[in-house]
Structure 1
Amino acid sequence: MIAIGQEAPDFTLPNQDGEYVRLRDLRGRAVVLFAFPRAGTYG
């Protein structure tokens, strides 16, 4: 778990269009990460 105010480690994830985005490319912007369990799974 990352503490409030702690810098997040760099990572790469696909966006809604299937294009890969790196966290470091968003430096200086407000970023909201939303994670949810896959449809049909318990979570």
Structure 2
Amino acid sequence: MNEIPTVPTYYLAKPQPRERAWRNQRGKKTLLSLTLVCNCEET
């Protein structure tokens, strides 16, 4: 990768077991926020 994206695709595509548990608690709100931000930026 030449440039590191703000949200690494490999992290979202292949979450580790420990990360998955963490995302279950905080990730849902984070992903929701990221989705809203991405939609706003695209528009």
* TM-score for the superposition, normalised by structure 2: 0.28
Higher RCO, 1 vs 2 (CA within 8 Å, ≥6 residues apart): 1
Q: Greater share of strand residues, 1 or 2? A: 1
Q: Greater share of helix residues, 1 or 2? A: 2
* TM-score for the superposition, normalised by structure 1: 0.28
- Rg (Cα) greater in structure: 1
